[in-house]
A and B are shown apart, each in its own frame.
Chain A
Amino acid sequence: MISKKDVQYISHLSRIYTDDHEAEALAKNLEGILTYIEKLKKLDIKNVKPTSHVLPLKNVFRDDILKESLGQKNATKIAVKSEKGSFKVPQVIE
C-alpha cells in the first residue's frame, strides 16, 4: 500500500512540493500503477529476451577528441545568479 506519507517522502526527495490534498490523490494514482506492475510481474516471460533499453541500438561511442566548450561567459549566462565566473547558489553546509 502506498500511503500519503510515502508520497510526501518521495516528493521531498524529488524536491516537488505537494500539499495534503495532492499527496492523497497521488497515493491513489501510484497505488494503481503499482497494482498494474504486480499484474505484469505475473506474465509468463520465459520466451522474452531480457532487455535494458527500448532501442535496438548498442555500442554508440565517441572518440576521445576535444570539442569546443561554451566558455565561462556563455555557461554562466543561464545562471539565476553568478559571481566570479561561478554559479551562485544558497549556502550549502555539510
Chain B
Amino acid sequence: MKQYETVIGLEVHLQLSTQTKIFCGCSTEFGKDPNSQTCPICLGLPGTLPVLNKKVLESAIKIGLALNCKINSLVKFDRKNYYYPDLPKAYQISQYDFPIAHTGYLNVKTGDETKKLGITRAHMEEDAGKLIHDPAIKSSLVDYNRTGTPLVEIVSEPDMRSPQEAYDYLTTLKLHMQYLDVSDCDMEKGSLRCDANVSIREEGQTKLGTKAELKNLNSFKAVKSALEFEVARQIKLAESGERIVQETRLWDESKQITISMRSKEEAHDYRYFPEPDLVPFMVEKEDIKNVRTTLPESPSKKQDRFIKNYKLSTYDVDVLVQDRKISDFFEECVKEYNQPKKICNWIIGPLLQEINSNEKGISNDRLSGINLVAPTAKTFTDLIIKVEDGTISNLVGKSVLTSMLDRGKTSAEIIKEQNLAQVSDEGALEEIVATVIAENSKIVEQIKSGKESAIGFLVGQSMKKTQGKANPKKIGEMIKRRILND
C-alpha cells in the first residue's frame, strides 16, 4: 500500500479590536442592532472617501513583527472585485501585491518537537457584512454593521503535515495574537476565522497535490475534525484511482463531513487593481523600530524564562502562559511572596477553577471576568500566607478564595466575619477529640492493635465536625496521644 503525506496550509482572518472601522469612524462593537453602525463610507455610497485608521496599520505591523515577517516599506491597497450583497461597494478593499508583512515564521510546539512553520504573508483588509438567509420570505437580510471592520489575514505556508499540527499552529497563533492585544481571537464571535487548504501526495513527492479549500470551520476542534475527514476522503479517492478535484468544501458540523460547494468558476476572478481612493503609505524604518519597542514578551520566551527563573515544571508553565494576564498576575504575586511553586499551585488549581466555572466565553481577560472580583497580588498572596502559617486550613483557604472572588473582600475580612480561623488550641479541641473517640470505638480498637493509619479517619471525622476549622496536624497528635497513652 502506498504511503501518503498530508500537506496543510491555513488562512486565518483576525478581526482587530479597534474602536472604529478601518476606513470610517463607525463603531466595531459586536451584537448591536442591524445597520445601526453604518455611514456613507462603509455603505459604499458614491462620493465618499475612505481614510485609513492609524491603529489598524500599527496593529498589522505588530502582527507582522510577532510572526517574524519582513515589513513592506510601501503599503498600498487594492480593490478585490466581486458581487455579493454583503459587500455594498461590490469590491473589498484589500492588499494584493504589497501586503504589509511577508516571509515570516512561527515556532510551534507539536508533539515532542518544535516546528518552524512558514508565514507567507499578512495583509490588511475590510470585513464584509452579515447575511441572514430567510427561506420563508424567499429573501436575504443584510446587516452592514460588520462591513469595514478591520481584518488582518494571515496566510501560512503549506508546512503542516497533519491535522494535529494545523491545530497546534492555530492555538499557538491565537496565543501570540492575544499577547499582542490586537484581537480578542474569539472563534465563536467570529473575530478569528480559519480556512484550510489541504492536499495529499505520495510519500517522497515534492510536487503539491490538488488541494481542497475547507470553509465553515467554526471552532478549533472543527478545524481538526474537518481536516481529518478530508485527508481520509482524499486518500480513499487516490486509492481507488479517482481524481481529486480542486474545489471549496464546506464543513458540516452536525454530520461531521465536508461537502462540495459547487461554486461558479468566475468566483476567483477578482480583477484586482490599485485602490485609487487611498494614497500610498510609507512605513519608515523608524516606525517599525517604534512598534517593535511596544511588543510584549512573546509567550514562548515567557515560557522559557518561567522555567528558568521560577524552577517550575513545563506543565505548570504551559498553563500559566496560556493567558497573558494570568502569567503577569503570577509574577506580581511572586514579588509579594517569594514562593513560586506555591503560588503557581494556587493559581492553576483553585483560582483557575473558580474563573473557569464562572466564565462566560471570556477569552482574553479572564482575570477581570464577569461576575468575579479579581484578586490583587496582595490579597491573593495574603490568603496563601494564611494557609501556610496555619491561620486557616487548606480546605478553608479554598472556600475563602471563593468568597473573595464573589464578594471582593479580603481573606482577613472573610475569616473574621465567618469565624473561620483554624483552631489549634488544645483546650478548644479537647471536646471534639473526646466525642470522635467515643463514637468510633471500633476504629479506636484497630489503632490500639497497631493500625496507626486509621488515625487519619478520626482526623477526618474531627475536621467534619469543625467544618474544616480544626488544625488537622494538631488533632492527629491529640488523638494519637489519647488512644495510645490510655
Contact = CB atoms under 8 A, between A and B. Distances in A.
Interface in B135-185: 135, 137-144
A1 interface: no
A44 interface: no
Interface string A55-76: 1011111111111111110011
Identify the interface centre among B38, B52, B137, B138: most chain A CB within 10 Å of its CB.
Answer: B38
A72 B35 CA distance: 5
A93 B250 CA distance: 14
B208 interface: no
A64 B52 contact: no
Nearest to A9: B266
B279 A87 contact: no
Interface residues of B, number: 56
Contacts of A93: 133
Nearest to A54: B276
Contact of A75 (B35, B57, B81, B134): B35
Interface stretch (A19-27, A32-40, A78-86): A78-86
Contacts of A87: 35, 85, 141-144
B387 interface: no
- Most chain-B Cβ atoms within 10 A of its Cβ — which of A13, A90, A93? A13
A52 B26 contact: no
B295 interface: no
A67 B274 contact: no
A64 B135 CA distance: 39
A53 B35 CA distance: 33
Say whether chain A's binding surface is mostly helix, strand, loop, or mixed: loop
Contact of B141 (A57, A61, A84): A84
Contacts, number: 139
Contacts of B250: 94
B140 A60 contact: no
A86 B141 contact: yes
Nearest to A85: B34
B131 interface: yes
Contacts of B276: 53-54
A88 interface: yes
Interface stretch (B16-24, B233-241, B357-365, B459-467): B16-24
Given A63-B54, A83-B139, A91-B139, A52 B76 contact: yes
B133 A53 contact: no
Contacts of B137: 83
B140 A66 contact: no
B37 A69 contact: yes
B133 A61 contact: no
A72 B475 CA distance: 69
Contact of A86 (B27, B34, B74): B34
B133 A92 contact: yes
Interface of B: 18-20, 24-27, 33-40, 43, 45, 51-57, 74, 76, 81, 83-85, 90, 131-135, 137-144, 250, 261, 266, 269, 271, 274, 276, 278-282
**In the A-B complex, the 5 residue pairs with the closest CB atoms:** A67-B25, A86-B141, A64-B55, A87-B142, A61-B54
